[in-house]
Structures are given as structure tokens and as C-alpha cells.
Amino acid sequence: MFAPRNDIKFAFFSLFCYISRMSNNLKKIVLLGGDIVALYFSLYLTLAIRYWDEYAGLIWSSHFWPFTLIFILWLIIFYISNLYNLNLAVNNLKFYQSSGRALAVAGLVSLAFFYLMPQVGIAPKRNLFIYILVFAVIFYLWRQFYNWSLKSYLPKRNIGVVGYNSLVAEIINEFKQKPHLGYNLSFIVDDKTRDDAPEIRPITELEKLINRGKLDTVILSSDPHQSENLRAVLFNCLRCKINYISLPNFYEAITGKVPLDNINQMWFLENLNENNKIWFDRLKIIYDFILALVIFIITLPFWLIIAVIIKLESRGPVFFVMDRAGQNNQIFKLIKFRTMKEEGNDHAPTRANDSRVTKFGNLLRKTRIDELPQVINILKGEMSFVGPRPERPELAGNLEKLIPFYNQRTLVKPGLTGSDQISGQYHSPSREDSLKKLQYDLFYIKNRSIYLDLSIFLKTIATVMARQGM
């Protein structure tokens, strides 16, 4: 009598277990797949509600392809709105704000699509209104289920850590802030007792802890090459079928940054693999040029309007041209719309509430329109759309003396945007902030790909819309 209910409970439990064991990328794919199902299921319900007894396959087929085009736009809007960022799963307020804005924009885009393209053969005024309401309900129910499952599923990936340092402390903090990562810290062992971390166990207990706990992964902060006893313990535990991963690699996978304290010349020789990036770099030159040319042609009429307003508001040139350190430290002239007054301007780095910034210049900066002329730099091959932001030569020279391997960020072309610009943080030219920027830049140089470029480019749009970072 109660078998169906038990089957449903088992199905939900099985789904939770499956989600918990997935990688973050796979979790995002499942999230995307669920959204696609919600889009089409909402269309089916909308047509069933709207036409009821008259509903037939012909009605479905006439709506299927036009709405498929709309759904593609919706998914892009969802991505730009950061709805595939798993961090939102732990913050309901941000989720509701982001998804509400995304649905509003998607609805307006849909209206514009159907009214500007009458050749699609349907004008679903009432259908579109019903659809948005139906989808909003199904979308929120699906996302709440998914978000709850990320936080509430029973099994987690149990990990142990060998050795303790600042990177381990940072990873532990990541676990606390991002429960969707699905990690449960079982133990930390170290050869030293620490007052700042009393929960650390002595390293002599490592084998017992591994054998006792159902571990998935052991993170190695201590180098097994330097300890014969550690190597012996890890070797004896091979039967436990545990993954061993170095702390730098795990840190990079969790944070999207490269740990600078753990890199040396051999790190670059072993990880950059520049020969494998040759075809990507050549392809990037092509799509950078095509996209820059399209943007230049489309936006060129607006350049004249912007130029007139700049000239009317303050005296000086329309464009601000400055030296920047490009690929392999080659100096080039970076172009921006001028946003500051020329009178009494010493051209020092911008400060908070800088009085030199004009009213229209402030608008250009907030919307990042002042960066638009850099498509000329991209067309000339001096820059790319995605890459480390170019620094002033004198500033870069000083930072090279203070920060090891800082010059290696120029191995690739500088970009209009980059990993640091979508981090949600503002980093000044100070040594401390430059260290943080370098972590993101080296991560991009190591992992650059078409997918990563597209991801950064779309997230930049979301960052600009939210007025964060950069």
C-alpha cells in the first residue's frame, strides 16, 4: 500500500546522493538541463491551458521553433545574470534578486522578438504572458529543490588534509562559505601542534585516521618526497582506494586562483604547456578580430555622440591615450574615451571620489563605455578581449622587483577583461592587490581555452550590469 511513497523517497534520496558526488561542472550541466526541461514543460502547460480542448500537435509545432530561439536567448540571459553560479544556492536573497531581474529582462526580450519579427507566424500576446507566469512558478520550484538539495543532501565527499598552512586555512574557509562544493573535512594532521588550530591531530595518527574514515581524497600540503615516513603511510593506505592530490592543485580547483607561495620555475615548465596552446592562440586571433570589427562597426555611430558630449563638458581631446605593457612587455598605446578634466591633472592613478572625473566621464566609467575604443587595440593585434589587464610600464617595472614571476603575466596578450575582473573584487595597483591579481592571471594563462574566454566574457557583462569589481 505504501510502496509508491517509499519508491518516491528512495528516488529523491538517490538523486541527492548522485548530485553530491558530481563535480561542480557536472552540477552546472544538470542545473542547465533542468532549466531546459522547465522551459519546454512550461510551454507545454501554457498551450494546454490556453487552448484546452483545441490543443493539438499542430499548435505545438507552430510554437516549438520560435520559442526554441527565445529559450536560447533566455539561457544566455540566465548565464549573464550568474544563475549558474553555485554560490547562489547558499544565498536565497541573491538568488531571488538575480532570477527576478533575469526573468524581467527575458520577458522584455521575448516581447521585442515576437513584435519585431512578425515572419515567425505567431503573435503570442496572451500566450507569452501565461508562459512567463507558468515558467516563473516551475522555475522557482525547480531551483529551490536543486538549491535545497545542494545544501541538504546526506552524503558528502570526505577529505583529509596532511599538513597545515595559510592555504589550508583558506580552503577550510571556502568550505564554510560554499557548502555546495560538497566537501566534509574529516581531519587535519600535522607534525607540529598549533595554538591557532587545536583540532589538528598528530601526523602519527594518519594511518589510523585513513583506515577508520570513509575518505574520498587526501590533500597533501606536506611534500611526500621530503618524508620517508609519510610516503610509507600513504603507500600502505593504497588499498583504501583514496585519491591523493597536492594542495596547490586542489586550491586552484576550488578557488580559481594559483597559490603563489607554492610555485617556482618548475611550476611554469610543468604547467603552462605553451606548445599545446598554439592552435588556440591562432584561433583566438581570428575571433578577436572578427568580434572587434563587428563591435566597431555597430557602435561607431555612437562614438560621434560620445565625442560631442565629452568636448562640450570639458576642454581636451576626446580620447585618452596612454602607454601600457603588452605581450612580452612590448609597449603599446592603449585608447580610452577621456573621462577626466585636463586642467590640473597630473595623470596619477584614479582615487576614490576623484574630483578630476567629469559627470559624463563618471557615467562612461560605470558602464565601462570608456573602454570601448580598445577595440582598435584589438584590431591592431595589441590586445585581446580576454587576458590579464595591461599595466603602466613604470608600475609594472616596480611590481616586477617586488613580486616574483610578475613578468610572466605578459606571456599572453593583455585583455579588455580577465579572470580578476569577474572576481567581484576591486584590486588596486598596490603590491598586496597585485599579488591577488597575479593569482587570477596565472590561472587564466594556464587554463585558457575557448570555453574559459566565453565564460569570462559573459560574466563580464553580468559584472558590468551589477556594477561590481573591475
Question: 105-116, pLDDT tens digit by residue?
Answer: 888 888 888 777
Between 227 and 1, the higher pLDDT residue: 227
Whether pLDDT at 66 is above 90 = no
Model pLDDT, residue 373: 96
Model pLDDT, residue 367: 86
Whether pTM exceeds 0.75: no
Model pLDDT, residue 71: 92
Model pLDDT, residue 307: 95
Residue 139 CB partners (closer than 8 Å, separation 6+): 35, 38, 42, 99, 103
Numbers of helices and strands, H then E, in the chain: 16, 9
The per-residue b/e assignment along 238-268, b for 16 or more CB within 10 angstroms, e otherwise, is: eeeebeeeebbebbbebbebbbbebbeeebb
Whether pLDDT at 326 is above 60 = yes
Whether pLDDT at 21 is above 60 = no
Measure the CA–CA gap between 82 and 75, rounded to whole angstroms: 11
Between 404 and 147, the higher pLDDT residue: 404
Give per-residue pLDDT as tens, 346-387.
Answer: 777 677 777 888 899 999 988 889 999 999 999 999 999 999
Model pLDDT, residue 222: 73
Looking at mean pLDDT, say which of 271-285, 370-384, 397-411 comes out highest.
370-384
Q: Concatenate the DSSP letters of all residues of 186-215 into one string.
A: EEEEESS--SS-TTPEEGGGHHHHHHHS--
Per the prediction, the chain carries an average pLDDT of 82
Model pLDDT, residue 208: 86
Measure the CA–CA gap between 68 and 46, rounded to whole angstroms: 15
Model pLDDT, residue 153: 52
Mean of pLDDT values over 412-421: 91
Which of 41-55, 280-294, 302-316, 420-434 has the weakest average pLDDT? 420-434
Looking at mean pLDDT, say which of 4-13, 202-211, 318-327 comes out highest.
318-327
Model pLDDT, residue 360: 93
Whether pLDDT at 325 is above 90 = yes
Measure the CA–CA gap between 84 and 88, rounded to whole angstroms: 8
Measure the CA–CA gap between 431 and 469, rounded to whole angstroms: 18
Mean of pLDDT values over 396-401: 88
Between 213 and 248, the higher pLDDT residue: 248
Whether pLDDT at 28 is above 70 = yes
∠ CA 263-268-273, nearest 5°, is 145
High-pLDDT (> 70) share of the chain, %: 85
CB 150 within 8 Å of CB 179: yes
Q: Give how far Cα 123 sits from Cα of 47, 117, 182, 247, 310, Å.
A: 14, 9, 45, 57, 43
Domains assigned to the chain: 3-152 (no CATH), 157-255 (3.40.50.720), 275-466 (no CATH)
Measure the CA–CA gap between 103 and 443, rounded to whole angstroms: 33
Looking at mean pLDDT, say which of 59-68, 86-95, 152-161, 194-203 comes out highest.
59-68
Between 352 and 99, the higher pLDDT residue: 99
